[in-house]
Amino acid sequence: MALSLTGSLAAMGHSIAGDEIIKNSLANFAFENYEIAAYKSLITIAEHGGFPGLAPALKSNLEEEIAMAKWLDDNLHSVTMKFASLKEAGERAKI
Ligand SMILES: [Fe+2]
């Protein structure tokens, strides 16, 4: 929940920026990688701390975070190029 709140606060802070979509993309990329590290740590604790039954669910969540981080990585170039082309055309990349 704390991680989700952090992401929401970052998005609110970026909403006043002209390049909100870029700032949010960067923050999301960092956030997903933070979550990957957190799940890896939790899996280690589960496996070595006497909670092996938790490991499968944590590993499932880890796979979701890795998939999301990959999606963000795969799409950062196109999002950046779309933002730049809109900016160049004098348009805004906001809803
Ligand atoms: Fe995530």
Q: How far is the CA of 43 from the centre of ligand 1 (A)?
A: 16
What is the 67 CA–ligand 1 centroid distance (Å)? 9
Distance between Cα 33 and ligand 1 center (Å): 8
Residues 6+ apart with CB under 8 A from 71: none
pLDDT score, position 2: 67
pTM of this structure: 0.80
Mean pLDDT (10-residue bins), the chain, 95 residues? 69 74 95 98 97 97 98 97 94 75
How far does the centroid of ligand 1 lie from the alpha carbon of residue 45, in Å? 20
What is the spatial distance between Cα 92 and Cα 84, in angstroms, rounded to a whole number? 10
Of the candidates 9, 11, 6, the residue with the CA atom closest to the CA atom of residue 95: 11
* CA 84 to centroid of ligand 1, rounded, Å: 26
| Interacting residues of 83 by C-beta distance below 8 A, sequence separation 6+ | 19, 21, 22, 93
88 CA distance to ligand 1 middle (Å): 32
